[in-house]
Structure 1
Amino acid sequence: MRKVFSTIMLVCMFIVTACGGNRPSTNLKVDMVEFIFTPAEFVIPAGQEITITAVNNGAVIHEFVIMNFGQTIGDDFGDEDEGNIYWEVEAEPGKTVTATFTAPTEPGEYQVVCGTEGHFIAGMVGKLTVVAP
């Protein structure tokens, strides 16, 4: 019985810890390598100033591109998508860039992609969730 209780407690602690990442934050950190964002999901409060630290541990330039609300890219990121960008930051290989932006005021889910050619196709995508403050 004690072993079962211990196992249940460990599972509960894991669930609480894993779900803790869903709290809105005004400070984000993303690691970028070929072809992944870590983490790939972010939650921020609407209309607040957001600071992001983008760490490029990859061998090529990576971008963290937030698309406008309701906008997603098609088969690959291209020139036709430039007008649908809410905000973006770029980091050279081996570099860390810290930047700020004002979060969108409209709550909802926003697509995040790497705008470097071929990276979207390779799966370098994420999700930004904007929540009411």
Structure 2
Amino acid sequence: MKKILLILVICLPLLLTACGSSRPTTAIKVNVTDFAYNPNEFIVPAGQEITVEITNNGAVVHNFIIMKAGASIGKDFDEEDAANEYWKVEIMPGQSTTASFTAPSAPGEHLIVCSTPGHYIAGMTGRLVVVSE
């Protein structure tokens, strides 16, 4: 019995820490490489102001575009797709920037993309999940 209790005491904090990453946040930190966002999924509360701190560790200009809910993108990002942007920020190579936006008021999923030519098709995407509080 003491062994079980000891195991629970040791494991419970680890489990709780692991579960904490799926909670909504109003502060996002993103590292950008040449073809990826890290992390690439973000859970935010509906209607709240969200602060995004992005560092571009890549060699070219990148952007972090949150698409409107339900928007789909063709083979590569083009002008038609740009009409469905919800929010966008551009980051120069080797630079960091901080910007804010108000999360959509309705819960749902939003695609995140980079519109630098060839990056969307290469898989530079992410997901913003808006949840009600």
**TM-score, length of structure 2 as denominator length:** 0.88
> How many pairs are equivalent?
131
- For the residue of structure 1 that corresponds to 2:81, the secondary structure is helix
**Equivalent residue for 1:38?**
38
Q: Once structures 1 and 2 are overlaid, which stretch shifts more, 62-71 or 14-23?
A: 14-23
**Equivalent residue for 2:22?**
22
The correspondence of residues 81-120 of structure 1 with structure 2, limited to 5 A, is 81-120=81-120
- For the residue of structure 1 that corresponds to 2:60, the secondary structure is coil
- Aligned residues: CA RMSD: 2.0
CA distance in 1, matches of 2:127, 2:22: 12
Which sections of structure 1, spanning at least 5 residues, go unmatched?
Answer: none
The correspondence of residues 47-126 of structure 1 with structure 2, limited to 5 A, is 47-126=47-126
Identity among equivalent positions (%) equals 51
CA distance in 1, matches of 2:18, 2:118: 31
How far does the alpha carbon of each residue in 1:41-82 deviate from its partner, in whole angstroms, 9 at most, with x for none?
000011011110011010000110000011121211111101
Which sections of structure 2, spanning at least 5 residues, go unmatched?
Answer: none
1:17 Cα offset (Å)? 3.1
Greater CA radius of gyration, 1 or 2? 2
**Equivalent residue for 2:132?**
132
1:91 Cα offset (Å)? 0.2
1:19 Cα offset (Å)? 2.9
CA distance in 2, matches of 1:15, 1:63: 34
**TM-score, length of structure 1 as denominator length:** 0.88
- For the residue of structure 1 that corresponds to 2:99, the secondary structure is strand
